[in-house]
């Protein structure tokens, strides 16, 4: 890591720490020029359709977190009636891989063309007063303006624009270039087990990580129930996506047609999770986001910090790995043998 990157990271850390301290205070919005602009220049009748809104993916976070930032910008642009502007992900490779910026104006290009950039205070999306205050800020500007959401502005549900996001991912040029290990004509059953930063030991020492930790027994229970629901109608190929070694997951040794994908890189793993016919997600943005962008049957743990679509292709499992087997059988039947 070069000195420039270290300095940028340090500045982001200090800014984040300062923001966290003042965010709960009633005076917080008044630290933003945009709030004062709204107070001194009340909303016009011109509306907000000539403005743009963008969200900057958090460069210090993982790709799942960054996608959540991006989705917040995409959705809130709709909420406020502005046009969306794409700010690329921190990695150009991930940006091209995901393809979410397709056919969207670039925030950087708009700024280069002279559009004023205005930062918005963080607001509670569930607080009508805070939302109205943010709308008033946007509508107080007459000239076309690029509004920038504060870092990590929350859009908890994440599912509002799912169909549009899945279409972007599906039509991205990177899809035509990716090579999958799934066998043509065989049903792929992918299991994502979050490890790395979330281990039994880490969860015992950290309450935040404890919310994300699921032991091996949960996944084995769900997998066994899936195979029981299939009841020999077909034999899926099973793929375990995680970190570590096969020996770390002894409960899965009894399954046939099983392959461990613990040595696959992050983008390849993401692509396989999204492309799976049946996907068992974990309490992780890294499998939740491929589930949103993919088109298979998903079995996901509940509760989770984001919402799940109400589609019949989404089935929730409780903390013990129990789920509605009949719902899975119906979802498979709708798709035919190939799930």
Residue 8 pLDDT greater than 60, yes or no: no
Q: What percent of the chain has pLDDT over 70?
A: 86
Nearest to 195 by CA among 115, 86, 286, 125: 286
Q: Given a cut of 90, is residue 337 above it in pLDDT? A: no
Residue among 82, 83, 86 at smallest CA distance from 101: 86
The answer to whether 121 touches 25, Cβ cutoff 8 Å, is: no
At residue 247 the predicted structure's pLDDT band, cuts being 50, 70 and 90, is confident
Segment 323-331 mean pLDDT = 96
Tell me the pLDDT band of 4, cut-offs 50, 70 and 90: low
Distance (Å, whole) CA 280 – CA 339? 14
List domains and CATH numbers for the chain.
Answer: 32-175 (no CATH), 178-335 (3.40.50.2000)
pLDDT, position 212: 53
Ordered alpha helix ranges (H), the chain: 3-22, 33-40, 63-79, 92-98, 107-112, 128-139, 162-171, 173-177, 200-205, 207-210, 216-230, 266-275, 285-293, 325-335
What's the confidence (pLDDT) of residue 206?
45
Query: What is the mean pLDDT of the segment spanning 282-308?
Result: 95
Tokens encoding 323? 């789920």
Task: Give me the count of residues in the chain.
Answer: 339
d(C-alpha 10, C-alpha 21), whole Å: 17
Is residue 44 pLDDT above 70, yes or no?
no
Least confident of 33-42, 145-154, 186-195, 242-251: 242-251
Q: What is the pTM of this model?
A: 0.87
């Amino acid at each position: 890591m070069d000195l420039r990157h270290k300095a940028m990271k340090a500045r982001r850390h200090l800014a984040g720490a300062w923001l966290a301290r003042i965010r709960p205070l009633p005076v917080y919005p008044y630290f933003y020029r945009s709030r004062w602009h709204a107070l001194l220049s009340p909303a016009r009748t011109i509306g907000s359709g000539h403005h743009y809104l963008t969200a900057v993916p958090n460069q210090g976070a993982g790709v799942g977190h960054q996608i959540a930032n991006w989705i917040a910008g995409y959705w809130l642009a709709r909420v406020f009636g502005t046009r969306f502007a794409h700010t690329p992900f921190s990695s150009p490779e991930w940006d091209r891989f995901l393809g979410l910026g397709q056919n969207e104006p670039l925030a950087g290009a708009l700024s280069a063309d002279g559009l004023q950039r205005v930062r918005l205070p963080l607001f509670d999306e569930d607080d009508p007063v805070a939302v109205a205050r943010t709308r008033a800020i946007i509508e107080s500007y007459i000239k076309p303006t690029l509004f920038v959401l504060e870092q990590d502005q929350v859009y908890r549900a994440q599912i509002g624009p799912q169909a549009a996001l899945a279409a972007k991912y599906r039509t991205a040029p990177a899809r035509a270039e990716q090579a999958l290990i799934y066998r043509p004509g065989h049903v792929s059953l992918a299991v994502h087990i979050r490890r790395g930063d979330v281990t039994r030991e880490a969860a015992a020492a950290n309450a935040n990580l404890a919310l994300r930790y699921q032991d091996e027994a949960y996944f084995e229970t769900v997998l066994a129930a899936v195979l029981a629901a299939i009841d020999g109608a077909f034999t899926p190929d099973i793929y375990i996506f995680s970190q570590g070694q096969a020996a770390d997951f002894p409960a899965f040794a009894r399954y046939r047609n099983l392959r461990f994908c613990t040595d696959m890189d992050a983008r390849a793993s993401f692509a396989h999770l999204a492309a799976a016919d049946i996907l068992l997600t974990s309490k992780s943005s890294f499998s939740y986001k491929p589930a949103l962008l993919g088109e298979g049957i998903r079995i996901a743990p509940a509760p989770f910090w984001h919402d799940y679509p109400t589609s019949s292709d989404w089935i929730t499992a409780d903390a013990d790995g129990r789920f509605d087997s009949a719902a899975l059988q119906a979802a498979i039947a709708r798709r035919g043998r190939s799930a």
